[in-house]
Structure 1
């Protein structure tokens, strides 16, 4: 479903969980010509000439100076990113704090229409504050970050609508799925999962443990050193009835992607984020609030009831298609507010 004909867009984005690949997929699905630039340079470092190599050899071996090569590597990585820049109709930067100021300023010269979205709270990365005024519009999903009047604009996260095949699974294998990082949320996760497991629910609980830490062994828990790509994650949740969402209360107040994945792929949602109630897609038949383990007695009724279809007008508002039209100020979008 094209909304543009070969409009060029530069997507500058962190490569966390490969969600960048799904954003590229959806942009191309809508007719954009995409140049994706990630701050994590994968090109192998090379000396530009013999002089650089020789000078580094001398400084490293005679003066034990390892900073010179580090500086050369940083300059190399900066040049790699800058070479990817070209004229475009739009630029969209997600997590601008992950890029150096020099790159941001040169990026903004590539197009008269430059937009940014910060899907983490502004307070978490203070450097981002000074970058806000440079963009045509700077979008945030946490209501508390709208305090900068006339500088930040509201939006939410979204679900990808370029993968209609993910809606085809009518007989999911699992009742409840949670996939996330091993962090302080495990203190909430384990008691909830123990109660659900003891009630006989089929759980698919997966934690990523990048260091030596590993959670204790539980029959319902799997863990890995490496995360799934975002598309792999979407395929996994297509095989579940419910998605579990444990809110990062100390990081932000906005809704995570879990709420919109549930909406987009017709899944029920188990969440600790009470602000879901404020959104127009909320329906108590589809959302169960995990406040205390003692309210799990009502889980049977919730899980055994049918998913309540959401008004297509409301549902489409949170699709990537409407999201990108709203972000880039393309005609025909539905405005997105934070309740």
Structure 2
């Protein structure tokens, strides 16, 4: 069990500079939890803008954004300069290495911590700066094996998932997620693979804008036969997400085909004690894997037997639920000593 008094005592009065991209509100949840544990947290976005164009340009034509990025982070260095106990950076897609060097000089006693929920092997910006961190973590076990100095630490679930009511099942299977890579095509295959017509599913695919939808429909083959009505252009609120999950017997999960790490949804279903159907075979490597709870399907030919839905969920040792909670994640990432 996590010693909450120990966690609270550790963070009480600590000053943290937290730099991360906005990722579905999880950056806000991390900040809120740190503050509820007694820390003083200054949050700074890792991107100078979150417009669809800016995100596209940063990833595809980054040279066009360098002046904007440098100006943005120079302002951070002036405003948030010193006196921190921790500099906590997630992903580091944009922040230039020289800004990190500047923060190091102004905070010589601070511990610098890195975490990535994305594939590190594709992030050259971080790889140039890895030696500037005291500790670094990734959600991707392949990255942890391949890159010296970075440790594996899967993602976490929020306390709301552990507190979801059990019962009142409305859906046999549900999916809520962003329509990236081949997810649209996969959902069409899943609908065809449902065990029988009596199965009820809930499927929600999010596209950030109609402009992006039309670009995908023109240039991305898997979207050629899609319709606007297949997607939502507004994200689902957390309250509604939790409601759908609480009413679902099992949850679908499709990781990006270029990633091996476990998605946030995988860990959330652990917290919610829900069955999971996933395309990520790497889940077998993890300590919480039980074949009664997790069904692995093939991306090209997904098959879902009805028996999976009829067998009961198998409860896990309580220490595993604690390990993958947000407090367990913070304990490991911030290297909080065990109570022993």
* TM-score of the pair, normalised by structure 2: 0.78
Render the CA deviation track for 1:265-296: whole Å, top value 9, x for unaligned: 11110011111112111111111122265632
Q: How many residues align?
A: 302
Preserved CA contact (<8 Å) 2:18 2:41: yes
Q: In structure 2, what is the Cα distance between the partners aligned to 1:35 and 1:203?
A: 41
RMSD over aligned Cα, in angstroms?
Answer: 3.0
Q: In structure 2, what is the Cα distance between the partners aligned to 1:33 and 1:129?
A: 29
Render the CA deviation track for 1:85-140: whole Å, top value 9, x for unaligned: 44222121101123222332233343521100111112222222111111001112
Q: In structure 2, do the counterparts of structure 1 residues 24 and 233 end up closer, same or farther at CA, with 3 Å as the change threshold?
A: farther
Q: In structure 2, what is the Cα distance between the partners aligned to 1:197 and 1:226?
A: 31
Bigger Rg, structure 1 or 2: 1
Preserved CA contact (<8 Å) 2:97 2:125: no
| Counterpart pick for 1:240 among 244, 248, 255 | 248
* TM-score of the pair, normalised by structure 1: 0.78
| Counterpart pick for 1:91 among 72, 87, 96 | 87
Q: In structure 2, what is the Cα distance between the partners aligned to 1:306 and 1:17?
A: 31
Preserved CA contact (<8 Å) 1:264 1:315: yes
Q: In structure 2, what is the Cα distance between the partners aligned to 1:74 and 1:273?
A: 35
Helix, strand or coil at the partner of 2:46: coil
Name the residue aligned to 2:168: 171
1:278 maps to 2:253: no
| Counterpart pick for 1:105 among 101, 115, 123 | 101
Q: Which runs of 5+ in 1 are unaligned?
A: 44-69, 335-339
Q: Which runs of 5+ in 2 are unaligned?
A: 51-64, 218-222
Q: CA deviation at 1:312?
A: 0.4
Q: In structure 2, what is the Cα distance between the partners aligned to 1:164 and 1:127?
A: 33
Render the CA deviation track for 1:287-334: whole Å, top value 9, x for unaligned: 1122265632x2x22212222111101221111212111111111289
